A = this chain, B = another copy of it.
Amino acid sequence: MIGVADIYAAIADPTRRLLLDELARADGQSLFELCSRLTMTHGVNSSRQAISQHLAVLESAGLVSSARVGRTKIHHLHTEPFREITERWPIPAKD
């Protein structure tokens, strides 16, 4: 967690993948919104701190950016880093 995490480690955790799913569904959610959604619709029951730490990992991997607005923190999804995966191990075309 010290230093910059890579995208591979970032998406290794199921909870972090759900966070990406949530932001893909509705971009620009706050920490509390993400906590609520994960608890309500995804059956996750981690603490707010746990979710916050997960978001920090996603952010240091460049998959999420955040900006404070008043007392809330808004999160945005960035999927461009995933391009590295498809370029590194190209998927053969469907026949």
Contact = CB atoms under 8 A, between A and B. Distances in A.
A79 interface: yes
Contacts of A82: 85-86, 89, 91
Interface stretch (A17-25, A38-46, A47-55, A65-73): A17-25
A-side binding surface: helix, strand, loop or mixed? Answer: helix
| Oligomer: number of copies | 2
B91 A20 contact: no
Nearest to A20: B89
Contact of A80 (B9, B12, B92): B92
Interface of A: 8-9, 11-12, 17, 20-21, 24, 77, 79-80, 82-83, 85-86, 88-92
